[in-house]
Amino acid sequence: MQFPQRFSNLPEYAFPRLRALLADHPAGGPEIAMSIGEPKHAFPDFVAEVLNAHMHEFGQYPPNEGSGELRTAIADWLKRRYRVGLDPETAIMALNGTREGLFNALIALCPEEKHGKPPKVLIPNPFYQVYAVAAAAIGAEPVFVAAPAGNGFLPDYAALPASVLDQAAIVYLCSPSNPQGAIASRDYWGELLHLAEKHDFRIFADECYSEIYRDAPPPGALEIAAETGADPERVVVFHSLSKRSNLPGLRSGFVAGGPAAIREVKRLRAYAGAPLPLPLQRVAERAWADEAHVVANRALYQQKYRIADQVFAGVQGYQSPEAGFFLWLPVDDGEAATVKLWRDTGVKVLPGAYLSREVDGSTPGQDYIRVAMVATSEEMRRGLQAIRDCIY
């Protein structure tokens, strides 16, 4: 039997690849899991209460686009957070996890051709791996653009040749970025929006880490588009409750953008989507309406930033993240450092190359490891200290 060739060049996904890397090496101590970005802080107290009150709604098919109450709660949050007014009926759709949206929106919105050729999808390198598989699914050409330290860990899309930008249909950007924790500034967003207008492409703004930051809240793509008068159809944003509210198991997020774009995403969703069950939508509705638990959660991560800065003070090349909950630590070789850490200490991290692609013989994450700061502060401090003592 034959299998499709369009996925034949996909590398093994990061975590099976990590398991294979460490399979023949016993842990050098009690495991400290720092490889997966699964939040471990307590989720909001109201979750069980809301869920119990709406258990009977498991007996109903949920609306594909999300309940009106949920979409209104999201619109209200966007207004408070970004001072952007969106119509919950036409500009917002609930997602069964943001990864679903980041994949399916490309299928719904990326044309089969641009100027008579297959479209290009621009992707930061390193990146969240769903971007690449979405491009492969529709036969688009992925263009991996390095996001090095010298550029603030953000891709320099403006430096690409005009011929590449003219052929681009979709441009992904994650801010705050995974894995580096870099924030796209207002100027960066403005310049990217200008490029989108000039070269006629859409921006997919992955803003799932937007509520975990040090000081000032990161600017958002919709916010800058409104301020600059950009065409609202140029921007599609994705948000999640996984990080903001410590609810990764809820599988709840949303996509928002121009009415024409969201109409197409909804149309595909009606055929192929997997809507969130109504009781879980009720929990999500309450979570978007409450900021107290978000503020408390952010304070815990701000404490973790301080711990990381203390542990790695004086380490050459260490750059403290601006936001998010990952450390992007420079090493001689990411795989070798990962194996050594596991074998000598029991600390499990992720090689940076597993989040990157090789381009012209260079892999941007080759000399890094990604460290997730999701454990308790005490356990995290032990893990970070073990990393410093072992490889620095």
Q: How far apart are CA 120 and CA 60, in angstroms?
A: 41
The CATH 3.90.1150.10 domain(s) of the chain lie at 14-42+293-391
Determine what percent of the chain is predicted with pLDDT higher than 90: 94
Q: Is the pLDDT of residue 272 over 90?
A: no
Q: How far apart are CA 54 and CA 213, in angstroms?
A: 33
- pLDDT tens, residue by residue, 80-105: 999 999 999 999 999 999 999 999 99
Residue type, 345: T
DSSP of 89-120, one letter per residue? TTSEEEESSHHHHHHHHHHHHS-S-BTTBPPE
Indicate the Cα dihedral angle 20, 142, 211, 227, nearest 10°: 170
Q: Is the pLDDT of residue 273 over 80?
A: no
Q: How far apart are CA 221 and CA 238, in angstroms?
A: 10
pLDDT at 4: 80
- pLDDT tens, residue by residue, 121-152: 999 999 999 999 999 999 999 999 999 999 99
The two structure tokens encoding residue 201 = 């492409």
Q: What is the CATH code of the structural domain delimited by 14-42+293-391?
A: 3.90.1150.10
Q: How far apart are CA 307 and CA 302, in angstroms?
A: 9
The CATH 3.40.640.10 domain(s) of the chain lie at 59-289
- pLDDT tens, residue by residue, 7-38: 877 888 999 999 999 999 999 999 999 999 99
pLDDT at 193: 98
Other CB atoms closer than 10 Å to residue 326's CB: what's the count? 23
- pLDDT tens, residue by residue, 176-199: 999 999 999 999 999 999 999 999
pLDDT at 9: 79
pLDDT at 290: 97
CATH architecture of the domain formed by 59-289? 3-Layer(aba) Sandwich (3.40)
Strand, helix or coil at 331? coil
Residue ranges of E strands in the chain: 32-33, 92-95, 120-125, 141-146, 168-174, 202-206, 235-240, 253-257, 326-330, 347-348, 350-351, 368-372
pLDDT at 387: 98
- pLDDT tens, residue by residue, 316-332: 999 999 999 999 999 99
Is the pTM of the predicted complex or chain greater than 0.85?
yes
Q: Is the dihedral of CA 44, 257, 82, 135 positive or negative?
A: positive
The b-or-e profile of 361-386 (16+ CB within 10 A means b, else e) is: eebbbbbbbbbbbbbeeeebbbbbbb
Confidence bin at 315 (pLDDT 50/70/90):
very high
